[in-house]
A and B are shown apart, each in its own frame.
Chain A
């Protein structure tokens, strides 16, 4: 009787400890998983922002935006150009406004992930022309 009385509390204590460890481990794993997800998303956003910025710079320097976008693999879809990248979609909408002394080219470059814009920049350039 005495032996049974001694082993039961010890057994119970260990079982409670194992159960508590299991619960804590689950919580910790969930937190780590969440953090890993956040970090991957941050990496993705960072890549998307760098990519968008890179396209913006090249777009600023080129004389013909549509020719440049076509050469970079962008496809015209309705009123905007788009290109599928590994994890996100790059959308570029270009508008041109003729003025008396030149052409104002306005482009909006967005990186879209799951229908959410994760990075976007405007790119505006004025191409001066001849005043007639």
Chain B
């Protein structure tokens, strides 16, 4: 009788341990799935952000250049320590300029009358960035745009209208 109870008790404890082991497997497996899924999701979102960053930054500059490309209107100038891509146009007696530049963590755009007391902080915030270095060489704008992620996007844009060569 005692022997039978001992055997039955051992069976019960093994069965209980097995149930707990299965529950443990279930818990570990479920946690693993959740963590792996979260990691996948984070990677996908990061990559989507990079895609968006590249498209927004480059297409914004392309659109501004295409929209303002006029004869003798494009120039790259330095204001303070900041390289600025400038588009100048005349309307009546006044001259206006559109400036694209990087300042204080953002790519910015400023539109206003020339010599109306401009400061870099006046520009409208376009999107977060870490740098914008334009260069104008022989009818081609070459710009290095550093995104918020630290990636540098180098782009070239051929101007359709003739620009005055400034020596």
- Name the residue of chain A whose CB is nearest to the CB of B153: A50
A127 located at the interface, meaning its Cβ lies under 8 Å from any Cβ of chain B in the complex: no
Known A11-B15, A61-B138; contact A25-B22, beta-carbon cutoff 8 A: no
B-contact 0/1 string along A115-132, CB 8 Å cutoff: 000000000000000000
A54 located at the interface, meaning its Cβ lies under 8 Å from any Cβ of chain B in the complex: yes
Residues of B within 8 A of A14 (CB): 19, 22-23, 26
Q: How many A-B residue pairs have CB under 8 A?
A: 81
A29-37, A73-81, A103-111: which lies at the B interface? A29-37
B77 located at the interface, meaning its Cβ lies under 8 Å from any Cβ of chain A in the complex: no
Residues of A within 8 A of B158 (CB): 57-58, 60-61
A96 located at the interface, meaning its Cβ lies under 8 Å from any Cβ of chain B in the complex: no
Residues of A within 8 A of B79 (CB): none
Min CB gap B6→A, angstroms: 14
A70 located at the interface, meaning its Cβ lies under 8 Å from any Cβ of chain B in the complex: no
Known A14-B19, A14-B22, A50-B58; contact A32-B37, beta-carbon cutoff 8 A: yes
- In the bound complex, do residue A18 and residue B58 qualify as a contact, i.e. CB atoms below 8 Å apart? no
Residues of A within 8 A of B25 (CB): 18
In-complex Cβ contact of A7 among B15, B23, B44, B54 (8 A) = B15
A-contact 0/1 string along B120-154, CB 8 Å cutoff: 00000000000000000011100000000000011
Chain B residues proximal to chain A, CB less than 8 Å: 8, 12, 15-16, 18-19, 22-23, 25-26, 29-30, 33, 36-37, 40-41, 43-44, 47-48, 50-51, 54-55, 58, 138-140, 153-159
Chain A residues proximal to chain B, CB less than 8 Å: 3, 7, 10-11, 14-15, 17-18, 21-22, 24-25, 28-29, 32-33, 35-36, 39-40, 42-43, 46-47, 50, 54, 57-58, 60-61
With A39-B47, A47-B54, A61-B159 already in contact, 10 other A-B pairs whose C-beta atoms are closer than 8 Å = A11-B18, A18-B22, A21-B26, A21-B29, A28-B37, A29-B36, A32-B40, A46-B54, A46-B55, A58-B140
